[in-house]
Structure 1
Amino acid sequence: MSGPTIGITSYVEQASWGVWRTSAALIPYAYVEKVRTAGGVPLIVPPVYDDAEAVLSRLDALVLAGGADVDPAMYEMVAHPETVGLRPDRDESELALLAVAYARDLPVLGICRGMQLMCVAAGGKLEQHLPDVVGHEGHRPEPGVYGSHAVSLVPDSVLGRLLGDELQVPSYHHQAAAEVGSLTVSGKADDGTVEAVEDPSHTFALGVQWHPEVSADDRLFRELVRVAALSESTESGRRVII
Structure 2
Amino acid sequence: MGSDPVSQVYEHFLLLDFEATCEEGRKIQPIQEIIEFPVIQIESSSFKECEQFHCYVRPTKRPFLTTFCTHLTGIECVDESENLSTVLEMFHKWLLHRNLIDLNGERTCPWILVTCGDWDLGTQLPSESEYKGLAIKKYFTEWINLKKAFAEALGYFPNSMSVMLRDLQIEPIGRLHSGIDDVRNMCSILKALALRGHIFSPTAKISKAISSTFPQRVSQKQLFRRKKGLW
TM-score scaled to structure 2, two decimals? 0.26
Report which structure shows greater RCO (CA 8 Å, sep ≥6): 2
> Hey, which of these two has a bigger chunk of helix by percent?
2
TM-score scaled to structure 1, two decimals? 0.25
